[in-house]
Amino acid sequence: MELILLGIYSYIVWLIFFKFKWLPWNFVTQVIVVTIPIVGLTLLILLLNIVAPSSADVRVVNYVTAVNARIQGMVVDVPISPNQHIKKGDILFRLDPRPIEIEISGFKAQIESLQAQLLSAGASTKGFSEQVQNARGARDAVAAQLRLAQERERQTRELAATGAGSQYDYEQAQANVRNLQGQLNAAVATERSAVAKVGAKTASGDQDEVADVKAKIENAQANLANAEWRLEQTIYRAPADGTVVSLSLRPGAMAVPLPITPAMTFVEDEQWVMAIFKQNEVRKIKPGQEAEIALKMYPGRIIKTKVESIMWATAAGQLPIGFANNMAGVAPVPPNSLAVRLLKDKKDVDLFMASGAAGIGAVYTDSGVAIHILRKILIRVSAKLDWLILKLH
């Protein structure tokens, strides 16, 4: 772009000083002619870098997931191939489910046995309650008989005192009262014994035996739920749409849940387009502003985008704790720089961009709209230059 402007300027100078000779070509005019483009281009470029900042570091980044088995097991099936596109929910691999199925059968049988014990213990508790009810019924019956006998004893005593009744009937009534009083005492003792048996309960309201059986059932059910979850994990499904790379898992291998040895690497379809700017270049950049990028994998093509957000945090802004290295990673953001996330426009939303693709780009802020055209020309000239392959082999 600078060469084009210089060419236009040179043509104007030729017209003024040589073609039409409107001004003399002397030392003063020569100094002025040379100074104007130097100062003008310098100011133009400085202003352009503020109102339409450019980036020579545009990257296409994909989410990458290291796939590890959640449980240990023998691999029995890997129904995918490397670089094969996969939909979310597709099966990546299967582990042998038989050991876990055997565990599940054992836990189910254990629960059935414990439930039978619980029914037996519940019947015993019911028997204790019936004993209490029977004892209370017997006590109430004897108490009623005792009240009647006491009334007969009072009546015979009064009759014997007046001579209207015999002394024998009175003594017989006294004997009946004493006999029924003994029966009542025995019935009360039986009731207290039955109540004591039922009262020997835990805080949950069940007898010790029942509470123990219930605890065993709950433990067996927890083990069964864990085994069923492990059975589900024998089938590993794709977490999103994407592609599997670095596939090292084969049938017959032992899969272990160790993050340092992933079974495969899953690259998701979701992408980030990142443009790296110096920190003093992003002061006028805001979400929603127009942007353009040119990737080397598409020589000469301009891809329309918009600013989604600015990442206001970098690894350099984090203090390392222990042995943690926050600067680690693939192609980290350079020092004194910030990343701006760009979103593809509707026209190019379906354009394929390889993970790791690189290029250049520019953001057109709300200021200096009149000179944005210069940055657009520069971007397009640079994109055309990507057609050149400069190597000798």
Determine the pLDDT at residue 203: 43
The pLDDT tens digits along the chain (393 residues) read 556 667 777 888 788 878 888 888 888 888 888 888 888 778 888 898 999 999 999 999 988 888 888 888 899 999 998 888 899 999 999 999 999 999 999 988 988 888 887 776 655 555 556 666 777 777 788 788 878 878 777 777 777 777 666 776 777 777 887 887 888 788 777 777 766 666 555 444 555 667 788 888 899 999 999 999 999 999 999 989 999 988 888 898 888 887 777 888 889 888 889 999 999 999 999 999 999 999 999 999 999 999 999 988 766 666 555 545 554 444 577 888 899 999 998 888 888 898 889 999 999 999 988 889 888 988 998 999 889 888 777
Rounded-to-integer distance, Cα 301 and Cα 113, Å = 73
Domain architecture of the chain: domains with CATH: 1-51 (no CATH), 52-67+267-393 (2.40.30.170), 69-96+234-255 (2.40.50.100), 100-230 (1.10.287)
| Spatial separation of the C-alpha atoms in residues 21 and 327, rounded to whole Å | 63
Secondary structure of residue 255 in the 3-state scheme: strand
Residue 387 φ/ψ, nearest 5 degrees: -65, -25
- Element (DSSP H or E) covering residue 33: helix 27-51
Dihedral sign (CA 280, 286, 289, 293): positive
> With the C-alpha atoms ordered 168, 170, 173, 174, is the resulting torsion angle positive or negative?
negative
pTM above 0.75, yes or no: no
Q: Taking a C-beta distance cutoff of 8 angstroms, is the pair 337, 56 a contact?
A: no
Measure the CA–CA gap between 82 and 133, rounded to whole angstroms: 76
